């Protein structure tokens, strides 16, 4: 159909070895979503969140360009982050860099998919695991 | 680390050739999120949504087990759906089957990732494109 660009880019960020107190801090996570949305050059419409007992936070920022979600497992020092944006102006990978900096993982992986290719599966644009000592943002 | 199971399963569903009037109907999409959450055996905490002008809907259901998001492009007859759930009880692929039925795509793709493998990238569990005539739910 001659489609040259995807409709959206979806960054799937796995954060391992994060400080558990950060992962259980609802205010920190909401602020991270706000800052991440700005770094992605996206427009945050609304954040919805929930704090679990005894621990864990789930939060989603609804963006004009799709969403930014954070789900945390403090007992595993793990956070699952998604940044899905559309439009040529947005920079979801910039948000990933900032979130790695904020969440202080010892290790992380980034899978970048492009979505909305007519009649096709998402394309895998990037797929990598990084040790924290290799993260420039923590250097 | 002896981890035998992932923490979560993330279904990435691309729906192509959907009726544009469905994709522009906020009530329909919120209902689809409610029904999809039930089909996944997950607990819906809250739905947040936005209707764009002149067209398009973005909506996310915050689940106790992560999230279910729907972003639509009526002008392209395309919807991007994510169903990310944790826990052994949930059945995100059941939600995908229901959502394919509700959104009536001519074609769809399903990419299933497992997430939360300590220090690893998400694993690709399934990756396929289906024509509508092959969808049992529309048969």
pLDDT digits (tens, 9 = 90+) for A84-116: 999 989 999 999 999 999 999 999 999 999 999
pLDDT digits (tens, 9 = 90+) for B99-139: 999 999 999 999 999 999 998 999 999 988 887 654 444 33
- Determine the Cα–Cα distance for residues A17 and A27; give it in Å rounded to an integer: 20
pTM over 0.90: yes
Topology of domain A8-138 in CATH is 3.60.90
How do strand B8-16 and strand B78-86 relate by DSSP bridges? antiparallel
pLDDT digits (tens, 9 = 90+) for B67-91: 999 999 999 999 999 999 999 899 9
Catalytic-residue membership of A67: no
ipTM for the predicted complex comes to 0.92
Residue A62 is nearest to which of B16, B50, B111, comparing CB atoms? Answer: B50
Q: Where are the domains positioned within chain B? A: 8-138
Question: Cα B88 from chain centroid?
Answer: 18
Strand partners, B69: B60, B82
A71 touches chain B (CB under 8 A): yes
> Do residue A82 and residue B82 have CB atoms under 8 angstroms apart?
yes
Beta strands in chain B (DSSP E): 8-16, 44-51, 57-63, 66-73, 78-86, 107-115, 123-131
* Residue B137: per-residue pLDDT: 47
* Residue A132: per-residue pLDDT: 64
B132 touches chain A (CB under 8 A): no
Contacts of A73 (CB under 8 A, 6+ apart): A23, A56, A79, B7, B116
pLDDT digits (tens, 9 = 90+) for A43-66: 999 999 999 999 999 999 999 999
**What are the CA-CA distances from residue A31 to residues A38, A49, B71, B79 (Å)?**
11, 12, 23, 29
* Residue A46: per-residue pLDDT: 95
Catalytic-residue membership of B96: no
* Residue A2: per-residue pLDDT: 61
- Determine the Cα–Cα distance for residues B111 and A122; give it in Å rounded to an integer: 8
């Amino acid at each position: 159909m001659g489609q040259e660009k995807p409709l959206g880019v979806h960054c799937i960020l796995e954060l391992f070895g994060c400080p558990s107190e950060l992962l259980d801090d609802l205010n920190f996570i909401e602020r991270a979503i706000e800052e991440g949305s700005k770094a992605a050059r996206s427009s945050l419409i609304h954040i919805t969140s929930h704090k679990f007992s005894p621990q864990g936070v789930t939060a989603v920022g609804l963006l004009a360009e799709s969403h930014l979600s954070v789900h945390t497992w403090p007992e595993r020092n793990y956070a699952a982050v998604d940044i899905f944006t559309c439009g040529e102006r947005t920079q979801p990978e910039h948000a990933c860099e900032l979130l790695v900096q904020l969440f202080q993982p010892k290790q992380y992986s980034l899978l970048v998919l492009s979505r909305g290719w007519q009649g096709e599966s998402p394309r895998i644009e990037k797929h990598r695991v990084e040790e924290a000592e290799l993260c420039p943002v923590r250097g």
